[in-house]
């Protein structure tokens, strides 16, 4: 899962990034509101950790723009403003949770896990068809035969995104932003190569699903039984 941290205190942002990365989340950081707004509106994040007092664009404005865009991404507000009226303002704009500073990093992690419905030590693997994506190894596993093959980080993120959105056509640019991040400028070759890698690994374990190319649109994860 991909998380955006919008926080201008660099030391705090780096601490949060390091802790979340340890829990196998993919984390991007924005150090001002303008960059944070651009990233948040990309639609590639599962959760945004959002400071209120930011340079260029404040957090409340970012939250408002996220909801105006119709994005359902989870948003946890991080702020030194802990008065009740500030919390109510955040919730009224569509915040999912509110964590006042200073906070303990483990409490923040627990709040993130609640919003993403994950827990340390709990099996959060994704399954589709006879394929399971195991983040602990990490590997892709045939649930019928228990045959598995290890995958690298980018392959994991790619297949995770497809398995979170099965039978949906995902545009190439959205897939690329989700897996490589918005600021990576090597586009088509990387994406096509990694789709090929994942296809081969699915085939190697006799998976009953595959990633199909949809001309001029993107890619789609589907059951091989549905192919014509």
204: left (phi over 0), alpha (psi -120 to 50) or beta: alpha
Long-range contacts of 124-127 (CB under 8 A, 24+ apart): 126/160, 126/163, 126/164, 127/163
72 vs 12, 44, 64, 223, CA distance in Å? 26, 11, 12, 27
Distance, in Å, from the CA atom of 109 to the CA atom of 98, rounded to the nearest integer, reads 13
Span 63-83, mean pLDDT?
A: 87
Residue that finishes a domain, picked among 81, 116, 151: 116
220 Cβ contact list (under 8 Å, min separation 6): 167, 168, 169, 170, 211, 212, 214
User: What stretches of the chain show up as alpha helix (H) in DSSP?
Assistant: 10-22, 33-40, 59-68, 84-92, 105-116, 153-164, 172-180, 188-204
Span 71-96, mean pLDDT?
A: 80
Domain of 214, in residue numbers: 126-226
Percent of residues in the chain assigned helix, strand, coil, to nearest 5: 40, 25, 35
Helices 84-92 and 59-68: angle between axes, nearest 10 degrees: 20
Beta bridge partners of 100: 79
> How much is the pLDDT for 214?
94
> How much is the pLDDT for 1?
83
Do 82 and 164 lie in one domain? The reply is: no
Do 100 and 150 lie in one domain? The reply is: no
Give pLDDT tens digits for 103-142.
999 999 999 988 987 544 455 678 999 999 987 778 899 9
Instruction: Flag whether pLDDT at 96 surpasses 60.
Output: yes
> Which residue, among 166, 160, 227, has the nearest Cα to 198 in the 3D structure?
160
Beta bridge partners of 30: 6
User: Which CATH number characterizes residue 98's domain?
Assistant: 3.40.50.2300
Instruction: Flag whether pLDDT at 93 surpasses 60.
Output: yes
User: Which CATH number characterizes residue 220's domain?
Assistant: 1.10.10.10
Domain presence at residue 20: yes
> How much is the pLDDT for 100?
87
Distance, in Å, from the CA atom of 36 to the CA atom of 38, rounded to the nearest integer, reads 6
The H or E element that residue 99 is part of is: strand 97-100
> How much is the pLDDT for 84?
66
Residue that finishes a domain, picked among 58, 87, 116: 116
Q: For the whole prediction, is pTM greater than 0.75?
A: no
Do 180 and 104 lie in one domain? The reply is: no
Give pLDDT tens digits for 181-225.
766 666 557 889 999 999 999 999 999 999 999 998 999 999 987
> How much is the pLDDT for 82?
63
Do 170 and 212 lie in one domain? The reply is: yes
Do 35 and 105 lie in one domain? The reply is: yes
Give pLDDT tens digits for 19-49.
999 888 889 999 999 999 999 999 889 999 9
The more confidently predicted of residues 134 and 171 is 171
Do 12 and 80 lie in one domain? The reply is: yes
Domain presence at residue 216: yes
Q: How many domains does the chain have?
A: 2
59 upstream amide cis, omega within 30 of 0: no
Q: How confident is the model at residue 13 (pLDDT cuts 50, 70, 90)?
A: very high
Do 207 and 167 lie in one domain? The reply is: yes
């Amino acid at each position: 899962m991909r998380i955006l941290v919008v926080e201008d205190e660099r030391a705090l942002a780096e601490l949060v990034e390091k802790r979340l990365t340890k829990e196998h989340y993919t984390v991007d950081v924005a150090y001002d509101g303008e960059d944070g707004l651009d990233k948040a509106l990309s639609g590639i994040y599962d959760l945004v950790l959002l400071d209120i007092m930011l340079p260029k664009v404040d957090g409340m404005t970012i939250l408002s723009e996220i909801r105006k865009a119709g994005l359902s991404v989870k948003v946890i507000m991080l702020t030194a403003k802990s008065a009740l009226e500030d919390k109510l303002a955040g919730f009224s704009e569509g915040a999912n949770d509110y964590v006042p500073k200073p906070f303990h990093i483990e409490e923040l992690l627990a709040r993130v896990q609640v919003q993403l419905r994950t827990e340390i030590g709990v099996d959060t693997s994704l399954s589709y068809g006879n394929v399971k994506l195991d983040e602990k190894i990490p590997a892709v596993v045939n649930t019928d035969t228990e045959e598995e093959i290890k995958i690298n980080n980018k392959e994991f993120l790619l297949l995770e995104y497809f398995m979170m959105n099965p039978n949906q056509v995902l545009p190439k640019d959205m897939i690329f932003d989700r897996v490589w991040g918005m600021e990576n400028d090597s586009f088509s070759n990387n994406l096509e190569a990694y789709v090929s890698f994942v296809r081969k690994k699915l085939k190697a374990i006799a998976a009953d699903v595959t990633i199909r190319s949809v001309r001029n649109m993107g890619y789609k994860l589907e059951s091989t039984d549905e192919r014509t």
